């Protein structure tokens, strides 16, 4: 399956797991593409089946700055002269890719940065191209496509700039990386990610009574019982934290020692994923310290 119809003029071109993502396409008075990280030839083929071309795209909306969600934005802008819209945090990062790298913790002094750049250029080619956002959005802002009204909803935690997009009339929400994917996610693998904010964003989405959530990464993207799915998603965060605590109780006293257990990803042979794992373990250690379940003695963590 390369695409799925959600409603009249409302489609998902399936990208699936990282390093691609699912791309929401709205064909209405305007042609709107949200998170252009699917295969570009899949997007082209889908549009051609609708008697459209890539050059017919009017607007691209970005949910956040991750490379797998912005991959083809600059290319589509060159082809169609479409406007690019992103929130007020994402926009300056998209406009300056050096700021983007710093925002993601991949500053010049980080030895993993060249390997991350190689990964992005090989798997998400185009994400690091220079381009500019035409319209900055804020939390609660609305865009209309004709029949549909899109409303921006900030959901930080995954990253500080992460937002979901509510599709008001069919009462759906595009979850982006609030994706309910238990293989790669939940992901909070940057220094400025936040587990507490991630949990707050989950609670906010569960509180809203949508007819369904559209995942940014699942092969079957529409989840109607998303509230129950988010319970499992949140338990997955807690399970990881329990495993981190168990390692500390068994004598692992540093983040480096904990990451040797590859709790989150089979990361020991991939420096980029090892970096992601390290940052996620750091967030769990901070959470355990805050909860009073561990303490630091002589630069080593011990269970209380």
| Mean pLDDT of successive 10-residue stretches along the chain, which has 304 residues | 92 97 98 98 97 98 98 97 98 98 98 98 97 98 96 98 96 98 96 98 97 98 98 97 98 96 89 96 98 96 97
Give 60's strand partners.
33, 84
- Residues 79, 81: Cα–Cα separation, whole Å: 6
Q: Give me the CATH code for the 3-224 domain, please.
A: 3.60.15.10
CB-side neighbour CA atoms (13 Å) of 2: 11
What integer pLDDT is reported at residue 156 of this predicted model?
98
What integer pLDDT is reported at residue 169 of this predicted model?
86
- Residues 23, 34: Cα–Cα separation, whole Å: 6
What residues contact 35, with CB distance under 8 A and at least 6 apart?
Answer: 21, 22, 23, 24, 61, 62, 63, 69, 70, 174, 176, 216
What integer pLDDT is reported at residue 125 of this predicted model?
97
Comma-separated ranges of CATH 3.60.15.10 domains in the chain: 3-224
Q: How many CB atoms lie within 10 A of CB 90?
A: 27
Classify residue 292 as exposed, middle or buried by CB count within 10 Å of its CB (0-12, 13-18, 19+): exposed
What integer pLDDT is reported at residue 222 of this predicted model?
98
Strand residues in the chain grouped as ranges (E): 3-7, 10-13, 23-27, 31-34, 59-61, 83-87, 135-137, 142-144, 149-154, 163-167, 172-176, 212-215, 222-223, 294-297, 300-303
What residues contact 181, with CB distance under 8 A and at least 6 apart?
Answer: 17, 215, 217, 218
- In 3D space, the residue among 43, 127, 114 whose CA is nearest the CA of residue 80 turns out to be 43
What integer pLDDT is reported at residue 268 of this predicted model?
80
Give 25's strand partners.
11, 33
Contact (Cβ atoms closer than 8 angstroms) between residue 118 and residue 106: no
- Residues 195, 257: Cα–Cα separation, whole Å: 21
- CA 201, chain centre distance (Å): 13
């Amino acid at each position: 399956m390369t695409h799925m119809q959600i409603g009249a003029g409302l489609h998902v071109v399936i990208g699936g797991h990282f390093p691609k993502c699912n791309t929401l396409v709205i064909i209405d008075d305007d042609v709107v593409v949200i998170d252009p990280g699917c295969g570009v030839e899949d997007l082209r083929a889908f549009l051609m089946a609708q008697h459209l071309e890539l050059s017919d795209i009017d607007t691209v909306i970005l949910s956040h700055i991750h490379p797998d969600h912005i991959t083809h934005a600059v290319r589509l802008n060159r082809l169609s002269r479409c406007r690019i819209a992103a929130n007020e945090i994402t926009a300056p990062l998209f406009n300056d890719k050096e700021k983007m790298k710093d925002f993601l913790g991949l500053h010049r002094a980080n030895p993993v940065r060249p390997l991350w750049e190689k990964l992005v250029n090989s798997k998400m080619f185009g994400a690091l191209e220079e381009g500019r956002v035409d319209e900055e959005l804020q939390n609660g802002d609305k865009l209309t496509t004709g029949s549909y009204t899109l409303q921006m909803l900030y959901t930080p935690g995954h990253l500080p700039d992460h937002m979901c997009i509510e599709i008001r009339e069919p009462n759906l929400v595009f979850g982006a990386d609030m994706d309910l994917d238990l293989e790669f996610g939940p992901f909070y693998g940057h220094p400025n990610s936040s587990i507490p904010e991630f949990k707050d964003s989950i609670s906010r989405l569960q509180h809203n009574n949508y007819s369904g959530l559209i995942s940014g990464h699942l092969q079957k993207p529409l989840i109607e019982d998303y509230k129950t799915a988010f319970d499992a998603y949140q338990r997955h965060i807690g399970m990881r934290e329990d495993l981190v605590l168990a390692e500390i109780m068994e004598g692992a006293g540093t983040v480096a020692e904990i990451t040797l257990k590859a709790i989150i990803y089979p990361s020991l042979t991939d420096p980029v994923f090892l970096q992601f794992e390290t940052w996620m373990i750091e967030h769990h250690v901070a959470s355990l310290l805050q909860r009073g379940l561990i303490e630091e003695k002589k630069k080593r963590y011990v269970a209380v």
